[in-house]
């Protein structure tokens, strides 16, 4: 069977921050090329091949703690096992402190940079998406909030629409500065 996507990077287990990007690559690869890795055994074999050093040893020792029935459950169980071993146990609390605390604000940062940093922190949390617009708005610069007060936005349209709206506001602020 032809593979549609190239192999993922190799995870060695040396840096916790690398685990999360690597695990996204693994999930995408196994989903896109599901016909090539059709069974749970094939998927675990592929994950093992994309690990090296301590991570490879850890996968080799993996046995399910509870009954897992489907291929996808096995994939998530293996990746969860690796996350427990090599992930950052404090990442959620750091992200929560960042978004809830007063220190993290857009300030003078360009909007696109602020949005990327906000979304990176948000992705670490288990907060409902309906709250995302509220937290994002609270962290925007005073100039952005003032400009947005003039224009109305229906928050029920979702975060991506709100971010697009904010991006347009940021562009109009930049144009006024010129």
Q: Are residues 62 and 130 in the same domain?
A: no
Convert the pLDDT of each residue in 73-127 to its tens digit.
999 999 999 998 998 888 888 888 888 888 889 988 889 889 988 988 888 787 7
Q: Are residues 68 and 101 in the same domain?
A: no
Convert the pLDDT of each residue in 33-46 to its tens digit.
999 999 999 999 99
Residue 147: both structure tokens together: 């400009």
How many structural domains are present in the chain?
2
CA 142 to chain centre: 27
Q: Are residues 40 and 101 in the same domain?
A: no
Q: Are residues 103 and 163 in the same domain?
A: yes
Q: Are residues 140 and 111 in the same domain?
A: yes
Distance from C-alpha of 63 to C-alpha of 158, rounded to nearest angstrom: 40
75: nearest Cα among 55, 51, 54, 45:
45
Q: Which residues form the domain of 169?
A: 91-177
Evaluate whether residue 58 is within a structural domain. yes
Q: Are residues 49 and 101 in the same domain?
A: no
Q: Are residues 128 and 167 in the same domain?
A: yes
Convert the pLDDT of each residue in 148-168 to its tens digit.
876 666 667 788 888 888 898
Q: Are residues 34 and 76 in the same domain?
A: yes
Q: Are residues 59 and 116 in the same domain?
A: no
Distance from C-alpha of 100 to C-alpha of 3, rounded to nearest angstrom: 43
Report the predicted TM-score, pTM, of the whole model to 2 decimal places.
0.59
Tell the residue number behind the tokens 């703690």, with chain if given. Answer: 65
Residue 3: both structure tokens together: 């593979």
Q: Which helix (H) or strand (E) holds 84?
A: helix 71-86
Q: Are residues 71 and 124 in the same domain?
A: no
Q: Are residues 66 and 95 in the same domain?
A: no
Evaluate whether residue 7 is within a structural domain. no
Q: Are residues 69 and 101 in the same domain?
A: no
């Amino acid at each position: 069977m032809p593979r549609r996507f190239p192999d993922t990077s190799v995870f060695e287990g040396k840096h916790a921050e690398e685990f999360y990007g690597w695990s996204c690559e693994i999930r995408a690869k196994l989903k896109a090329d599901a016909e090539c890795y059709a069974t749970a055994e094939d998927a675990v074999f592929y994950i093992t091949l994309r690990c090296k050093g301590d991570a490879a040893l850890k996968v080799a020792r993996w046995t399910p703690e509870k009954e897992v029935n489907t291929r996808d459950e096995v994939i998530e169980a293996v990746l969860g096992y690796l996350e427990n071993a090599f992930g950052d146990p404090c990442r959620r609390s750091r992200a929560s402190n960042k978004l809830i605390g007063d220190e993290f604000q857009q300030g003078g940062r360009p909007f696109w940079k602020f949005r990327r940093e906000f979304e990176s922190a948000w992705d670490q949390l288990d907060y409902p998406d309906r709250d995302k617009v509220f937290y994002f708005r609270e962290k925007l610069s005073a100039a952005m909030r003032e400009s947005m007060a003039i224009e109305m936005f229906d928050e029920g349209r979702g975060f991506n629409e709100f971010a697009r709206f904010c991006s347009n506001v940021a562009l109009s602020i930049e144009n006024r500065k010129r």
